[in-house]
Amino acid sequence: MLSILYLPLLLPFQVAALMDGLSSTPPMGWNTWNKYGCNIEARLIRETADIMVSKGFLDAGYRYLNLDDCWQSNDRDYDGNIIVDRYAFPDGIKAVADYVHSKGLYFGIYSSAGYQTCAGRMASLGHEESDASNYANWSVDYLKYDNCNFRDGISGKERYKRMGDALKATGRNITFSICNWGSENPWEWADEIGHAFRTHDDIIASWESVLEILDVHAQVVQYGGPGHWADPGMVGNGALNIEESRTHFSLWAAMKAPLILGNDLTHMSDVVYDILTNRKVISVNQDSLGVPARRVVHVAGNLDIWTGPLSGGSVVVVLVNYGENERQIPFTDAIVDYYGENIQVEDLWTGKIFQMKEGMMLSSPIPSHGCTMLKLTNGTSIPYSDSLAGNASKNHYPPEIMQNDIDTSKLEDMEQTLYEAEALVNVVSGLSRRKGGCPACSSSARVIAIGKVHPLESGSLTFRNITGSGHYTLTLRYMDCLSWSVCGDYWTRRWGLRLRINDGEETYVYLRKIGDFKAVKEFSMGLYLDQDVNSITLDNPEADGPSMDSIILKKHLNSNFNTSKGAVWTTGFSSEDPLAGDHWILYAMRCIVDYMLDAAIFACGISTVGFVTYILCGYFSKWYRHVYQLVGNSDLGEYTLENVSDTNTSIA
């Protein structure tokens, strides 16, 4: 699917960021987790500090050396102070921080806005003030604050605000990184609490993970800026090839993401080192204007064009080839919103200089999964008016890219509207979060971890700003449950889902398991909305719920449906799944139908056991009669195997 967005690139998104002077440019550094996990100790941190200085990472701008999870124990002392893991850090955290500072680096630490960290160590919920005080006493400069093991009942905003306030109260400048994976829409509140906010799950060592993150981060990147950076996760992914590594780093730099490395600094190729320390690319990331590049052209699975303004009137452009073959990508001055007769174009990776001719340029050949990163100068940017932005169409893009098989269609039926689950207007709460990398979805992303997917925590999704009262058919486009891994077990046949309209009357549906967590299935039900602006909340406080791609609402102009306020009801015998409704009769029928095959297998198993038992009993009875005849007496008396042996011998 192709989408083109024309944006006023010189106008940063206005938010009320923290005005404490910290993180005026995106933080740069290194973190222990991706490479070492819980296998950390004081010696490793000192050695890493030495490497960051000796190999030039500090000179390139990487100033933070951050401890992640597992520096702490599982306990607190009698005064409530957290106890450090004495085996890994026998001299305490302050000694390590002092060594890091002696090398000219900043020192960072980790905790979670819950009762335990993600690795099960002691966390900070309920102890924010004492922990923040200890961090200040240990000369900590950076806190990554995770989102594990918090239990339901306290919002993410409240939990993160508690720690943010506690850090401020210490009087020490501590950069506060909010790591809640994009749950509860942190772009709506994190700018007043912290200096960076995560927008997605952790990045993992794969190209697919990079693409998943981009599907979501591209929607929220504009909410980042000086002092409140949108954070898609770490860089330095050790599993990528060279072209993918260059693309990863280019996009993170252009998006003004924090550049926190997670790779092995002691063993990397010279090419990867050159990528991570490229001064021209890093200068884009650290540009004083602080406006993130945004994706202005996206052809799913094919190509991207990202562009954003830089200080001094320059512009950065990143062209990405997602295809499997080498290709050239053209762009125009209108696409990148940059005009002039003598525009100079510098390739930031090769250093080559070009001239843009007649408002159009064709890139050099770009390898599969590779990119070209360009800096344009000697031009001017004229933000587009609302009227022009509203008339943007695929015809503004060069015809060389347009292909007949690109689907640019949207729902055009005025009585039928599709609402994307991952849309920013919606609220994703608890453990639920937006996740990209979904080819079967209507827009490459979905919301996962809905329901009670963790013993202590659940997740929910609220569709907001659904306009228009009346009777509707609601179509749920759902997928199998997914959280940190695929939910359920062999006996899972359905995903329960509770629906509430405007926080009013509720009902449940029990959606059939698909058996393929990459596939999308539909289920339709009746719905009555009684307000001009409505909300629909999906959750399951008792068990796993499905992941959600989207919902579709189709209005009925003439309806005899139930008109009670806020009523939600299944159609009972929907053609997609006639047994999904919330009724005891349907529950009983589900138990029969869903487990009929298992019952048949069980019955066959019982029959097989019975048949084998019958055969064995037959053989035993024959053997018994044979022995009886040999002994010659109905009373076997002292009969033993030895007797049988003697008898057989005498007969022979």
Q: Is 503 left (phi over 0), alpha (psi -120 to 50) or beta?
A: left
184/429 Cα distance (integer angstroms): 5
**Residue 648, class by beta-carbon neighbours within 10 Å (0-12 exposed, 13-18 middle, 19+ buried)?**
exposed
Q: Are 331 and 354 in contact (CB under 8 A)?
A: no
**Residue 171, class by beta-carbon neighbours within 10 Å (0-12 exposed, 13-18 middle, 19+ buried)?**
exposed
Annotation says 202 is catalytic: yes
Query: One of 152, 202, 264, 347 is an active-site residue; which one?
Result: 202
Strands 175-178 and 427-430: unpaired
CA-to-CA dists, residue 415 to 442, 479, 562, 601, 634, angstroms: 19, 25, 20, 47, 89
CA-to-CA dists, residue 547 to 331, 489, 568, 577, angstroms: 37, 16, 20, 17
The one-letter code for the residue type at 237 is N
Annotation says 146 is catalytic: yes
- Phi/psi of residue 8, nearest 5 degrees: -75, 85
**Residue 416, class by beta-carbon neighbours within 10 Å (0-12 exposed, 13-18 middle, 19+ buried)?**
middle
Ranges of H-type helices in 277-363: 279-285, 333-336
CA-to-CA dists, residue 447 to 22, 429, 460, 487, angstroms: 33, 10, 9, 14
523/577 Cα distance (integer angstroms): 7
Query: One of 85, 146, 201, 480 is an active-site residue; which one?
Result: 146
Q: Are 284 and 314 in contact (CB under 8 A)?
A: no
Longest alpha-carbon distance in the chain:
119
**Alpha-carbon Rg of the chain, whole angstroms?**
31
593/590 Cα distance (integer angstroms): 5
525 forms beta bridges with 474, 570
169 forms beta bridges with none
User: How large is the angle between the packed helices 584-594 and 596-631, nearest 10 degrees?
Assistant: 50
Please list the active-site residues: 146, 202
